[in-house]
A = this chain, B = another copy of it.
Amino acid sequence: MSKKQALTEFHRGSILAAAERLFAEKGTEKTTMDDIAREAEYSKATLYVYFQSKEEIINAILLSGMLLLKKKICEAIEGHSSWLEAYDAVCLSIVRFYNENPTAYDAATGALTPAARGEEAPKGVADILRVGQEIDGVLAAFLERGSQEGMVCAQMPAMETVLLFWAGLAGMVRAAYYRSGYIQDTVGLDRETFLQHGSRLLLRAMTQPDVQP
């Protein structure tokens, strides 16, 4: 990569970092381009040198978040020989990731897709969706491995289980983020412990066939 490209990447990164901070704090809609410019210490016009629009910034954050998440999940799976340990590590990496990336995670669970449907595929959305599918695929394969090792009940189709697991854990992470005070007051658990329990709860859901009435 040339020096120029590196510098461009540096500025794009600074802007994205600033935007990410603000998005996490106030959400994408309430964060203005002026806010981002101020936080990143560029002029607003400079933002448009590095990104074509606010939407491109949002999508770039989403994409980088998704890519990082995928990497962490793969590392978690590959880094543990025991399936159960790997499962805990996967959940932990998702949870930790969300602590640093609330907005990106939000998107990972699909919150952006409807906006994206506005007309056609707005620049960058295709990549985001593709990475999301790749993560789904990685998790599905992981689940099937668990099934072969007898840790996971084989009766449910892997992909559907992944989607439900993913959505359920996302909901818990979201709750742990938005309602940490309430959770602390009610059940006396910090965010991390609460989410460990949640991960285990979801694991139990996958270890046995359906309930018989």
Smallest distance from the beta carbon of A52 to chain B beta carbons, Å? Answer: 14
Smallest distance from the beta carbon of A49 to chain B beta carbons, Å? Answer: 11
Residues 169-213 of A contacting B (Cβ, < 8 Å): 169-172, 174-176, 178-179, 181-183, 186-187, 189, 194, 197-198, 200-208, 210-211, 213
B residues in contact with A114, CB < 8 Å: 178
Other-chain residue from B156, B172, B203 in contact with A168 (beta carbon distance below 8 A): B172
Query: Is there a chain B Cβ closer than 8 Å to A111's Cβ?
Result: yes
Query: Is there a chain B Cβ closer than 8 Å to A129's Cβ?
Result: yes
- Write the A112-130 contact mask toward B (1 if CB under 8 angstroms, else 0): 0110000000000000010
Other-chain residue from B109, B164, B183 in contact with A178 (beta carbon distance below 8 A): B109
The interface size of chain A toward B, counting residues with CB under 8 Å, comes to 55
Other-chain residue from B82, B109, B168 in contact with A169 (beta carbon distance below 8 A): B168
B residues in contact with A167, CB < 8 Å: 168, 171-172, 174-176, 198
CA separation between A207 and B210, bound complex, in Å?
10
Other-chain residue from B133, B160, B168, B178 in contact with A110 (beta carbon distance below 8 A): B178
Residues 121-158 of A contacting B (Cβ, < 8 Å): 129, 132-133, 136, 151, 156-157
Query: Is there a chain B Cβ closer than 8 Å to A7's Cβ?
Result: no
Query: Is there a chain B Cβ closer than 8 Å to A166's Cβ?
Result: yes
Q: Is the CB of A204 within 8 A of B210?
A: yes
Residues 75-110 of A contacting B (Cβ, < 8 Å): 82, 84-85, 109-110
Q: Told that A163-B194, A170-B174 touch, could you supply 10 new A-B pairs with CB distance under 8 A?
A: A111-B174, A133-B186, A163-B186, A164-B172, A164-B197, A164-B198, A164-B201, A167-B171, A167-B175, A204-B205
Residues of chain A at the chain B interface (Cβ within 8 Å): 29, 82, 84-85, 109-111, 113-114, 129, 132-133, 136, 151, 156-157, 159-161, 163-172, 174-176, 178-179, 181-183, 186-187, 189, 194, 197-198, 200-208, 210-211, 213
